[in-house]
Amino acid sequence: MKLGKYKHYKGKSYKVIGIARHSETLQEMVVYKALYNSKRFGKNALWVRPKEMFLGSVNVKGKKVKRFKHIS
């Protein structure tokens, strides 16, 4: 998986900073940060999501699209 900027299908941008493993299951998790300021979570909030889910697709109005698209 490429590190760098990704765009979420809803429009906001994030930066993938690494891959981690869950301490109990060893599942690969994507560690990424928001490239925007959120009233609820603050500026550059950090997030984790299972790698399989991060790289997966979602249905939007009957069309299959990537959840996150690598942009740089």
Residues in the chain: 72
In this prediction, residue 34 carries a pLDDT of 98
In this prediction, residue 13 carries a pLDDT of 98
Do 47 and 33 touch, CB atoms closer than 8 A? yes
Q: Which of the four pLDDT bands, split at 50, 70 and 90, describes residue 27? A: very high
Left, alpha or beta for 30 (phi > 0: left; psi -120 to 50: alpha)? beta
Please state which of the four CATH numbers 3.30.300.30, 2.40.50.140, 3.40.50.150, 2.30.30.320 is assigned to the domain occupying 4-70.
2.30.30.320
Average pLDDT over residues 40-50: 97
